[in-house]
Amino acid sequence: MKKIFLTFVFALVSVVGFAQTGWAVDPMHSSVNFNIKHMGVSFVQGRFDKFDGKVATKGNALDGAEISMMVDVNSINTGVEMRDKHLKSADFFDGEKYPNMTFVTTSITKDKNNSYLLKGKLTIKDVTKDITVPVTFGGITKNQQGKEIMGIQTTFKVNRLDYNIKYDPTGAGVAKDVDVNLYFELIKQ
């Protein structure tokens, strides 16, 4: 009997120790934004209005978390319909052929304070590359409905030419580097 009890306790501890908590992006309190230099003197700002993502944590922090995100490139919004149509074309994202950008973690490590280094695979069009980005963990709290929520954010640069976005390859009119700013509020599932 004692042996059965100990086996049960070890099994329970193992399940609890490896249990993951699921979190889903709340699109009403999240945003996917970008800035890119135009003609070398000004900037164009934009965002993607449709995106989704999931995070699996092993507790109330990002240590060892698994993150997957998807952005609908056809939801690009710079506030100028003609420009948005051009950005969806084969000159840029080729949204008909490649409707989504994706990111999946390969590892995440604690840096300092509430900062983490997130490594993963970013896919844009037909190219997947390894990237490392800093992530700020905003913490966990409860919203007005009593549900647990988590906040994370990151800012990083992407060279669009690395992902076969080859329009104006000199970067004279449309810069090569794009500043990306992501703000996610996630709801515990």
Per-residue pLDDT, 114: 82
Cα separation, 2 vs 95, in Å, equals: 62
Over the stretch 17-33, which tens digit does the pLDDT of each residue have?
A: 457 999 999 999 999 99
Residue 62: other Cβ atoms inside 10 A: 23
**25 within 8 A of 54, measured Cβ to Cβ:** yes
Over the stretch 78-126, which tens digit does the pLDDT of each residue have?
A: 999 999 999 999 999 999 999 999 999 999 999 888 899 999 999 999 9
Instruction: Say yes or no to pLDDT of 47 above 90.
Output: yes
3-state secondary structure at position 171: coil
Residue 19 CB partners (closer than 8 Å, separation 6+): 58
Q: How many CA atoms lie within 13 A of 61 on its CB side?
A: 11
Residue 78: other Cβ atoms inside 10 A: 16
Q: Span 124-132, mean pLDDT?
A: 98
CATH number of the structural domain 20-188: 2.40.128.110
Instruction: Say yes or no to pLDDT of 74 above 60.
Output: yes
3-state secondary structure at position 61: coil
Per-residue pLDDT, 18: 53
Bridge partners (DSSP) of residue 74 are none
pLDDT band at 5 (very low <50, low <70, confident <90, very high): very low
Per-residue pLDDT, 9: 42
Domain residue ranges in the chain: 20-188
Q: Span 165-187, mean pLDDT?
A: 97
Instruction: Say yes or no to pLDDT of 2 above 60.
Output: no
3-state secondary structure at position 15: helix
pLDDT band at 1 (very low <50, low <70, confident <90, very high): low
Over the stretch 137-167, which tens digit does the pLDDT of each residue have?
A: 999 999 999 999 999 999 999 999 999 999 9
